[in-house]
Amino acid sequence: MVTNLRMAPRRRQRRARSIASGAVYRAVADPTRRAILDGLATEPLTVNEIAGRFPVSRPAISKHLRLLRRARLVRQQRDGRRRVYYLEPAPLRAIDQWLERYRLFWSALLLELKDFVETGGETR
């Protein structure tokens, strides 16, 4: 019984990381949210500056920002009456790590294609 109590926090941590990475994937699945992240990658922006870049309502942008905050991809800082948003890229590392194996896969295939084209289709 004591062993199970020790393992419970680890399971909770693993589950929390899994839920967090799921939130990140859901957040970047939407093109509007990806565009918001792209804009914040260049500079911090206020809500109004972000909203001005899209043909959707300000409440819609606020919902996108709320989801990005929950996924911990952006942070909000109050500056008087303004809310300024900053990119927090750390959660994107999980996606980058997952994509790395596909980069390796495609790199290998492209090298094979290059060799095939350069040799005129001859096998070595």
How far, in Å, CA of 40 to CA of 48, rounded? 13
Band (pLDDT 50/70/90 cuts) for residue 124 is low
What CATH architecture is 2-88? Orthogonal Bundle (1.10)
Question: Which is nearest to 29 in space by CA: 73, 83, 86, 77?
Answer: 73
How far, in Å, CA of 76 to CA of 46, rounded? 9
Direct distance between the N- and C-terminal alpha carbons of the chain, in angstroms, rounded to an integer = 62
Summarize pLDDT for 57-69 with one digit per residue, the tens.
999 999 999 999 9
**Mean pLDDT across the chain, nearest whole number?**
84
Whether 9 shows a pLDDT value over 70: the answer reads no
Does the pTM surpass 0.75? The reply is no
Domain boundaries, the chain: 2-88, 91-124
Look up tokens 């967090």; give the residue: 20
In the chain, how many H helices and how many E strands?
5, 3
In this structure, the number of other CB atoms found within 10 A of the CB of residue 61 comes to 20
